[in-house]
A and B are shown apart, each in its own frame.
Chain A
Amino acid sequence: NAGVTQTPKFQVLKTGQSMTLQCAQDMNHNSMYWYRQDPGMGLRLIYYSASEGTTDKGEVPNGYNVSRLNKREFSLRLESAAPSQTSVYFCASSEWLGPEYQETQYFGPGTRLLVL
């Protein structure tokens, strides 16, 4: 049981290049999330997917797109990378069991992205 996995672990891009960050979970969770974490700061939600087939914007969605490929996989795409997108990106998943049983989120190890 690997939990939440992310690829790649580290990536360097030039301004204007595109790339896709991959995330997969093997816990059969319905909900998946993408966050970014900048130095000395907490996590900010980029996009999330409450269930397969749905995606919604979070706090900082500009410059990103997402795809919920199936229940296991949720990818984040940078179409034209900018230096401001240099950050560490975390994927997370959780299970919804009802309003009285809000579950915690399980996080992947992160992808460190440097945009030059």
Chain B
Amino acid sequence: SQQGEEDPQALSIQEGENATMNCSYKTSINNLQWYRQNSGRGLVHLILIRSNEREKHSGRLRVTLDTSKKSSSLLITASRAADTASYFCATVLGMDSSYKLIFGSGTRLLVRP
């Protein structure tokens, strides 16, 4: 399988703390994306980092990518209870209109008020 794997599987933190989730993958990628899923809902795209980028920011999110180690991390700073959700990394395979996303198994984040 070429799936990304997130670590840890579950994370519980206090509101205001930072949350870090890691993703490892197996093959060369075009880009890597992070998605969020609230309980019982569909996935929502958070951020995309291309294979030639090392770090990207979006609001309280910071994503890093290390292609030599085939790994990425998602940092959520100053977490809020509303950040409670599952977070998935997805690697992109293919360079044409039939590109596919391969999802990891996710990190379940609980932010305690």
Q: Contact residues of A with B, CB < 8 Å?
A: 4, 30-31, 33, 35, 40-45, 48, 50-51, 56, 58-59, 90, 92, 96, 99, 102, 104-110
B45 touches A48 (CB 8 A): no
- What residue in chain B is nearest A88 (Cβ atoms)? B40
Binds A, one of B61-69, B74-82, B90-98: B90-98
Q: What is the number of contacts between chain A and chain B, taking CB atoms within 8 Å?
A: 65
* B104 & A96 in contact (Cβ 8 Å cutoff): no
The interface size bin for chain B is 20 to 34
Task: State A56–B97 Cα separation when bound (angstroms).
Answer: 12
A42–B105 contact, CB under 8 A? yes
In the assembled complex, how far is the CB of residue A114 from the closest CB belonging to chain B, in whole angstroms? Answer: 15
Is A48's CB under 8 angstroms from B31's CB?
Answer: no
Give the CA-CA distance A102 to B45 in the complex, in Å: 13
Say yes or no: A109-B42 contact (C-beta < 8 A), given A42-B88, A102-B92, A104-B33: yes
What residues of chain A lie closer than 8 Å to B25, measured between beta carbons? Answer: none
Sample of 8 further A-B pairs with CB below 8 A, known A102-B30, A107-B42, A110-B41: A30-B97, A31-B97, A31-B98, A42-B88, A44-B103, A59-B102, A104-B48, A108-B42
Please state if B106 and A104 are interface contacts (CB–CB under 8 Å): no
**CB-CB < 8 A to B40: which residues of A?**
110
Q: Could you say which residues of chain A place their CB within 8 Å of the CB of B100?
A: 33, 45, 48, 58
Q: A41 to B103, alpha carbons, bound, how many Å? A: 9
**Alpha-carbon gap, A31 to B44, bound state (A):** 17
| Chain B residues whose CB sits within 8 angstroms of the CB of A42 once the complex forms | 3, 88, 103-106
- Chain B, residue nearest A109 (CB): B42
> How far, in Å, is B72 (CB) from chain A's closest CB?
15
Output the nearest chain B residue to A107 by Cβ-Cβ distance.
B42
> When A90-B42, A109-B42, A110-B42 are in contact, do A99 and B95 touch as well, CB less than 8 Å?
yes
Q: Is B101 an interface residue (CB 8 A)?
A: yes
